[in-house]
Structure 1
Amino acid sequence: MKTFLILAFFALAASAIPIKESERVHGENGWYVPQEDGTSEWVDMDVAEQWMEAQELLESRGLTTVPVKFYLYTSSNPTKGKKITASTKSIDASSFNSAHPTRFVIHGWTQSYTASMNKDIRSAWLSRGDYNVIVVDWARARSVDYATSVLAVAATGKKVAKMINFLKDNHGLNLNDLYVIGHSLGAHVAGYAGKNTDGQVHTIIGLDPALPLFSYNKPNKRLNSDDAWYVESIQTNGGTLGFLKPIGKGAFYPNGGKTQPGCGLDLMAPAPTDALQPTTPRPSPRTTSEP
């Protein structure tokens, strides 16, 4: 399957007139897509979108698998997650308590549910009181091919929505105190979860929502301000791996939103300077609402 995807991609690329390097604008007419070795490769937007549409068709026909698992943490089991499924037997055997607010946490590319980010978020919530913290583990995020992980975002989000709907319909989960928190590609998974939930999720928080292969002009195919009652994005690597423009109702830009002091190397090398220039004036520390 992977060989077919690669051949299809290069066939499209060969038939298109490539954009000159001097005219490339990251996120506007193409993307610098992260690679396994930490570098990035430019892909013209037209080529990428044609390829993505063709592969989405394969995904919709069930020709690929999208394994998703859920691990519940509460004050009763704050460090060892209890694997749960959308079944009454599983939930009844867990410490899920509908009287407590629920938080879903979704990792990004190359990560798993044991990633340090998930541990930090889980610990932060449980230190504040009684919560149901459900960490999502989606295996396709660990594909070495970034585009393959992107293709699984929509289906993963629908599976998260299915779990939310089950808990709401059968175990009293209250959407009014539900937060869904996603990092990088996980932010867009959270968006698709919100799009497919029976009722409106209260809050979605996107931590550095991934930019490569996601278009600002196609909000229905990414996290957007309509996916929950309140959608907030926190841009920390804006213009490179993450969106720089606001894509929710609230947007925060720590230290300007592009780089953070003390952080190690990014997952990919920085794109050329010209590709990182925003097409709008530098945002204020907080900008509300996407156009």
Structure 2
Amino acid sequence: MANHWNRILLLGSLIFPLCYITVNGNITQNCTHFQTYSWRNILQRMDLKVQFMLLTRRNPSCAQPISDSNDIQNSNFNGSLPTKLIMHGYRVTGSKPSWVDTLAKELLGAMDVNVVIVDWIIGSTALYHNAVRNSIELGLKIAILIGNLMSHGSTEDSFHLIGISLGAHVAGFVGRMFKGKLGQITGLDPAGPEFSKASVHQRLDPGDAVFVEAIHSDSDKFGISRPVAHIDFYLNDGKDQPKCSQHLLSSGLLERGGLSADVLPKEVKVYLMTSSQPPFCVKHFLLEIFYEQLGFHEQRIKIKFQSHSNASYLHLTIPKKQSNESTIRRVIPYDASFGNVNDVTIQLSSSWRRKRYPIHIEKLRIRELPLNDSERPPRCIYNIVLYREIIFEQLSNCL
């Protein structure tokens, strides 16, 4: 009899890791991990391999596979909750994207949602051209998954696709297959190579979802510079980020609310700045330059903003005489240690190959943001004529 029970216990110990179990109503199983890429994949010319990994508040650190309807049925997926799909982009070395876990954790901490991580490491590594080609097939597979999730209770408007780099355009491709009815797409630094001159049908576009936003953080290198969404956010002018050698990610992704599809703007550019240290928040002031006299070609000026202990610089292009513009507005960031701007130095920095023309600035005004801050009244400099010399002026309260 003892041998009989020993055999049952042994059999149970062998079967247990392979079976699904229910604990407190939660379905658990062996955790799914990112695929491991090998350079043999290039030599073997392996086809695109994709796996979909589900994280919820019931399993926030142990991903469940949901490749088909049977997997979905036996997972913690809840069709009554919103679903966030995270899609990484091109991978040079085949390593796991280090930011995915952090983003998934932040999403689950902020709201009760299904988080689906799209792992296409095998098809996104090594040759960029091949990754672009594979992205089309990837989009088809994601569309099939969304269809399966909808058969388990999800609705089109409950989906939020989050794609970085090449993954952003994959999100757009998926959205087009659903005729723009998916709830939201967030493009994190959408890829530039092979997409900068592509048509709206070949890249991320405002028509790909009810609400499309894009965050540009590397548009001078590998990211796209043109607007591709209803609202495009350009962090620090959309170019190199302070003390950041990789893509800057925002865990505080915008949520759709108070917005209607028939009143959404298209291709609106929004510029915001960050500091180089967490939490990356900075203060801002609005610089306004009202000018009268201009030259016969564009000229560049360099402005130095000086506080008691720090200095900040800004390069501006002054339009030519034929321009209809009469005002330049720029938002300038500064951290708390910068202090108040006391004086301004302006220098004409046009090329020596071109003749310099006098620039008459009627008024230069600096206003702290928000503009209704009564403790920091606007300050101005009036009647500046800039030619060859460097102009140094102290700010005073505006008249």
Q: Bin the TM-score by the shorter chain.
A: 0.5 to 0.7
Amino acid at match of 1:159: K
Deviations, residues 81-126 of structure 1 (Å, cap 9, x unaligned): 1111122x21111000112110000001117794222112101110
- Are 2:110 and 1:128 equivalent residues in the alignment? yes
Equivalent residue for 2:271? 285
Q: Where in structure 2 are the equivalents of 1:221-260 lying within 5 Å?
A: 221-260=202-241
**Alignment partner for residue 157 of structure 2, among 176, 195, 201?**
176
* Correspondence 1:139 to 2:127: no
Question: What is the distance in 2 between the residues matched to 1:125 and 1:164?
Answer: 19
Extract unaligned runs of 5+ from structure 2: 1-44, 248-268, 273-399
Matches of residues 26-65 of structure 1 in structure 2 within 5 Å? 65=47
Structure 1 pair 114/94, CA: closer, same or farther in 2 (3 Å)?
Answer: farther
Find the counterpart in structure 2 of residue 119 from structure 1: 101
Counterparts in 2 of 1:284 and 1:78: CA distance versus 1, 3 Å = closer
C-alpha change, 1:232 and 1:211, in structure 2 (3 Å) is: same
* Displacement of 1:139: 3.3
Name the CA shift for 1:182/1:113 in 2 (closer, same or farther; >3 Å). Answer: farther
Q: Aligned partners of 1:122 and 1:113: how far apart in 2?
A: 18
Letter in 2 for 1:238: S
Q: Whose helix proportion is higher, 1 or 2?
A: 1
RMSD, aligned α-carbons: 2.2
Deviations 1:115-164 (A, max 9, x none): 22211210111001311000001134443111111111111111111100
Alignment check: 8 A CA contact 1:165 1:198 kept: no
State the Cα distance separating 1:224 from its structure 2 match. 1.1
Aligned counterparts of 1:232 and 1:164: Cα–Cα separation in 2: 20
- Code of the aligned partner of 2:271: P
Match of 1:107 in 2: 88
- The higher relative CO (CA closer than 8 Å, separation ≥ 6) is in 1
Residues 140/213 of structure 1: CA separation in 2 closer, same or farther (3 Å cut): farther
Alpha-carbon distance in structure 2 between the residues aligned to 1:237 and 1:178: 26
The reply to whether residue 202 of structure 1 matches residue 179 of structure 2 is no
**Alpha-carbon separation, structure 2, partners of 1:285 and 1:261:** 15
Q: What is the TM-score when the length of structure 1 is the normalising length?
A: 0.66
1:146-188: per-residue Cα shift (whole Å, max 9, x none)? 11111111111111111001111x2011222210000001111
Aligned length: 206
Q: Distance in 2 between matches of 1:284 and 1:74?
A: 32
Matched, 1:153 2:135: yes
SS at structure 2 position matched to 1:262: coil
CA distance in 2, matches of 1:198, 1:245: 23
The answer to whether the 8 A contact 2:55-2:62 is kept is yes
- CA separation of 1:84/1:246 partners in 2, compared to 1, >3 Å: closer, same or farther? same
Matches of 2:211 and 2:170, distance apart in 1: 16
Query: Given the superposition, is the C-alpha separation of residues 264 and 199 from structure 1 closer, same or farther in structure 2, using an over 3 Å criterion?
Result: closer
| Separation of aligned partners in 2, 1:239 and 1:200 | 32
Work out the CA distance in 1 between the residues paired with 2:154 and 2:59: 19
How far has the Cα of 1:239 moved from its partner? 2.8
* Residues in 2 aligned to 1:199 and 1:249: alpha-carbon distance in whole angstroms: 13
Percent identity for Structure 1 against Structure 2: 34
Q: Secondary structure at the match of 2:232?
A: strand
TM-score (normalizing by structure 2): 0.49
**Structure 1 Cα separation of the partners of residues 214 and 97 of structure 2:** 20
Residue 191 of structure 1 aligns with an amino acid whose one-letter code is G
In structure 1, C-alpha distance between the alignment counterparts of 2:225 and 2:192, rounded to whole Å: 8
Structure 1: distance between partners of 2:246 and 2:100: 20
Question: Which has a greater percent of strand?
Answer: 2
Q: Secondary structure at the match of 1:103?
A: strand
**Residues 185-200 of structure 1: pairs in structure 2 closer than 5 A:** 185-197=166-178, 200=181
1:121–1:99: structure 2 CA closer, same or farther, 3 Å change rule?
A: same
Q: Deviations over 1:219-243 (max 9, x none)?
A: 1111111111111110000131011
Give a deviation string over 1:203-254, Cα, whole Å, max 9, x none: 0000000000114341111111111111111000013101111111110011
| Whole-Å separation in 1 of the counterparts to 2:127 and 2:190 | 18
Of 46, 56, 68, the residue aligned with 2:50 is 68
3-state secondary structure, aligned to 1:251:
strand
The separation in 2 between residues aligned to 1:116 and 1:143, in whole angstroms, is 15
Amino acid at match of 2:202: K
